[in-house]
Amino acid sequence: MMLFLLKFLISVLSLLAACVVLPQFPLGLLRFVLRGVGWVIRQRTQARKEAILARVRADEEELRLKQPKTTSTLAAPAEDEDWEKVDTSNGSSSGDSSEPAGQNLGGEEWSGIIGFFHPFCNAGGGGERVLWEAVRATQRRWPKAVCAIYTGDIDVTKAAMLERVQTRFNIQLHAPTVELLYLTTRKYVQSTMYPYMTLLGQSLGSLAVGYDAFTLLVPDIFVDTMGYAFAVAFSKLLFPSVPTGAYVHYPTISTDMLQSLDDKSGLEGVNAGAGKGLKGTLKRKYWLAFARLYGWVGSHVDVVMCNSSWTSAHIRSIWGPSRHNPLSSSQSIPYKDPIVVFPPTAVSDIQSTIPVTPKTETTRTPTILYIAQFRPEKNHPLIFRSFARFLEGHRTQQKQQGDPQPHLILIGTVRPSSPDETHIYNLRLLAHELRIRNNTTFLCDASWPTILSHLSTSSIGVNAMWNEHFGICVVEYQAAGLISIVHDSGGPREDIVVDLTGSDTDSETDSHEAGTGPTGFRATNEEDFAAAFEKALSLSEKEKIAMRLRARKSALRFTEEEFSKKWVGEIGKLVGMLN
pLDDT at res. 155: 93
Q: Model confidence over 36-59: pLDDT tens digits? A: 999 999 999 999 999 999 999 999
Q: Report d(CA 493, CA 204) in Å as an integer.
A: 33
Most confident listed range (19-23, 209-213, 325-329, 411-415):
209-213
Write down the pLDDT at residue 99: 40
Q: Is the pLDDT of residue 525 over 80?
A: yes
What is the number of helices (H) and of strands (E) in the chain? 22, 13
User: What pLDDT is stored for residue 255 in this prediction?
Assistant: 75
Distance CA(346)–CA(350), nearest Å, equals: 6
Closest CA to 559 of 362, 359, 341: 341
Mean pLDDT of the chain: 84
Q: Which residues of 134-157 are buried (b: 16+ CB within 10 A; e: fewer)?
A: bbbbbbbbbbbbbbbbbbbbeebe
pLDDT higher than 50, residue 86: no
pLDDT tens-digit map of 93-115: 444 433 433 444 445 689 999 99
**Options 3.50.50.60, 3.40.50.2000, 3.30.70.120, 3.40.50.300; CATH of 79-344+562-577:** 3.40.50.2000
Does 347-558 match 79-344+562-577 at the fold level? Answer: yes
**In the predicted structure, residue 572 carries a pLDDT above the cut 90:** yes
What predicted TM-score, i.e. pTM, was given to this entire model? Answer: 0.80
- State the average pLDDT over residues 424-449: 93
**Residue 128: is its pLDDT beyond 70?**
yes
What is the structure's pLDDT at 97?
37
Q: Are 359 and 485 in contact (CB under 8 A)?
A: no
Average pLDDT over residues 328-351: 83
84 or 118, which is more confident? 118
Which of helix, strand or coil describes residue 231? helix
Supply φ then ψ for residue 497, to 5 degrees. Answer: -85, 75
CB 226 within 8 A of CB 249: yes
For domain 347-558, give the CATH number: 3.40.50.2000
pLDDT tens digit sequence for 456-490? 999 999 999 988 889 899 999 999 999 999 999 98
**Cβ pair 238, 38 in contact under 8 A:** yes
Contact 267, 464 (CB under 8 A): no
Least confident stretch, 69-78, 134-143, 185-194, 266-275: 69-78
Strand order in the sheet with 303-306: 178-182, 146-151, 113-117, 221-224, 244-248, 303-306, 339-340
- Tell me what pLDDT residue 548 has: 96
Q: Domain locations in the chain? A: 79-344+562-577, 347-558
- Cα 321 to chain centroid distance, Å, stands at 25
* pLDDT attached to residue 398: 57
Residue 506: pLDDT above 70? Answer: no
In this prediction, residue 324 carries a pLDDT of 80
Spatial contact of 500 and 517, defined as CB atoms under 8 Å apart: yes
Three-state DSSP class for 424? helix
- pLDDT, tens digit (0-9, with 9 covering 90-100), for 275-332: 677 777 888 888 888 888 999 999 999 999 999 999 999 999 999 888 887 654 445 6
Closest by alpha carbon to 35, among 277, 200, 196, 235? 235
